[in-house]
């Protein structure tokens, strides 16, 4: 089997504890190129930690993660971190974009400067090339006219779209979203979701941790339902809503219907 035919995301037996509290208890799933997967579940179920482990903002305790050809692995009982882990994590992050609940735009830089910073610093792109690409990305998320503004001059929805453009400028193979609309005014949620749907249509592989059940239902190829550090159910978006296999999923979703 060639590299191309392998699933773009492969996670298996992923474990992570904070002190005595086991947050992820052996999680595993796979994704094909172009999939949009939503991860839902009650607060504290480990969904954000899972996402942060995927690009090594949190270091897993054990398990394996393989994304776009880069493999991070730790065997059980391994106490010292392999020095190569950080190099691999760094390489992995070049191929994975991440969008945060609080946007985390750089407040002292304009939107354009926010978008071109990583291409300049990490990829050493010439400024003209970086700016041209940045303007294209901003156009794509509908912020063509906002390049010279500062983050504080934009609405929450605009800021989150700028954050998406900033990630896209690094040409990621996979996009991760950590509750991208939770900090937003309900009026502004749709404009962000629309951008994500547009990216889905372009064939971007995306993983979204979200509380937007409606979005998960409409846009996802499939949905992961997590509870207490485990994947309880992983299924087709229609099936999970119409015919959840697990009692816990049924109870959780009941509140949204």
Partner 1 sequence: MKLRSLATLLVTLFGFSQAFCATKSSDKTDGKGAASELRWAAAVDSNAPFAFYDKNNRLTGFEFEIIEGISRRMGREPKFIQNSWDGLTPGLGRGLYDCVICGIEVTAEKGQEVLFSNPYYITFEQLVVAKGTPPVTSLAELSGRKVGTLEQTAALKMLQDTSNVVVKSYAEEMNAYHDVANGRIYGALLDFPIAKYYAGPDAALEFTGPPFGKITYGIAVSRSRPELVQQINAALGEMVRSGELRDILSRWGLWTPTMAKALNQSAEPSLPDTEFKAFAAQFNEAGGIVAKLQRYFVYWPVILDGCILTLEISILSMAIAIAVGFLLALMRVYGPFPLRLISILYIEIVRGTPLLVQLLILFYGLPYIGIKLEPFIAGMLGLGMNYAAYEAENYRAGLLAIPKGQMEAARALGMTHRQGLRCVVVPQAFRLVLPPVTNDFISLLKDSSLVSAVTLIDLTGAYTRIATQTFDYFGTGLLIAAIYLLIGLPFVRLAGWLEKRLSSDHRTPKQKPSFWIGLGA
Could you list the residues that contact partner 1 (CB under 8 A)? 55, 57, 90, 93-94, 96-98, 100, 102, 104-108, 117-118, 121-122, 149-150, 152-153, 163, 166-167, 170
Half-sphere exposure of 91 (CA within 13 A, CB side): 12
- For residue 78, the minimal CB distance to partner 1 (Å) is 21
Q: How far apart are CA 118 and CA 94, in angstroms?
A: 10
- For residue 163, the minimal CB distance to partner 1 (Å) is 8
Q: How far apart are CA 240 and CA 249, in angstroms?
A: 8
CB < 8 Å & 24+ apart, contacts of 133-141: 133/169, 134/165, 134/169, 137/165, 137/166, 137/168, 137/169, 138/111, 138/112, 138/162, 138/165, 140/165, 140/168, 140/195, 140/198, 141/165, 141/168, 141/195
| Three-state DSSP string of 129-156 | HHHHHHHHHHHHCCCHHHCCCCHHHCCH
List the one residue out of 19, 168, 4 whose CA is nearest residue 99: 168
- For residue 107, the minimal CB distance to partner 1 (Å) is 5
Nearer of residues 100 and 252 to partner 1, judged by Cβ: 100
Is-contact 163 104, C-beta < 8 A? yes
- For residue 152, the minimal CB distance to partner 1 (Å) is 5
Nearer of residues 170 and 189 to partner 1, judged by Cβ: 170
- For residue 128, the minimal CB distance to partner 1 (Å) is 19
- For residue 25, the minimal CB distance to partner 1 (Å) is 24
Nearer of residues 95 and 211 to partner 1, judged by Cβ: 95
Nearer of residues 75 and 153 to partner 1, judged by Cβ: 153
Six-digit token pair at 140?
């794509």
Q: How far apart are CA 12 and CA 72, in angstroms?
A: 11
Nearer of residues 176 and 240 to partner 1, judged by Cβ: 176
- For residue 240, the minimal CB distance to partner 1 (Å) is 29
Q: How far apart are CA 198 and CA 104, in angstroms?
A: 22
Angle at 179 between CA 176 and CA 185, to 5 degrees: 135
Nearer of residues 118 and 213 to partner 1, judged by Cβ: 118
Nearer of residues 177 and 252 to partner 1, judged by Cβ: 177
Is-contact 180 101, C-beta < 8 A? yes
């Amino acid at each position: 089997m060639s590299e191309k035919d392998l699933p773009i995301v492969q996670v298996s037996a992923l474990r992570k504890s904070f002190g005595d509290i086991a947050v992820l208890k052996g999680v595993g799933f796979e994704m094909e190129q172009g999939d949009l997967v939503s991860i839902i579940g009650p607060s504290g179920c480990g969904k954000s930690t899972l996402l942060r482990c995927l690009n090594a903002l949190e270091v897993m305790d054990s398990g394996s993660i393989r994304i776009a050809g880069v493999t991070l692995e730790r065997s059980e009982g391994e106490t010292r971190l392999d020095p190569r882990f950080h190099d691999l994590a760094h390489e992995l992050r070049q191929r994975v974009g991440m969008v945060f609940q609080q946007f985390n735009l750089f407040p002292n830089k304009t939107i354009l400067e926010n978008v071109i910073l990583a291409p300049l610093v990490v990829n050493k792109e010439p400024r003209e090339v970086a700016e041209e690409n940045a303007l294209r990305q901003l156009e794509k998320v509908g912020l063509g006219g906002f390049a010279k503004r500062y983050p504080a001059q934009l609405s929450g929805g605009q800021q989150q779209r700028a954050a998406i453009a900033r990630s896209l400028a690094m040409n990621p193979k996979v996009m991760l979203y950590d509750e991208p609309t939770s900090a937003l005014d309900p009026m502004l949620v749709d404009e962000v979701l629309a951008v994500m749907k547009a990216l889905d249509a372009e064939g971007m592989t995306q993983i979204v941790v979200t509380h937007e059940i409606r979005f998960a239902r409409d846009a996802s190829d499939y949905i992961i339902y997590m509870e207490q550090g485990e994947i309880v159910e992983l299924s087709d978006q229609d099936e999970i809503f119409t015919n959840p296999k697990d009692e816990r999923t049924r109870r959780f979703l009941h509140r949204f219907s």
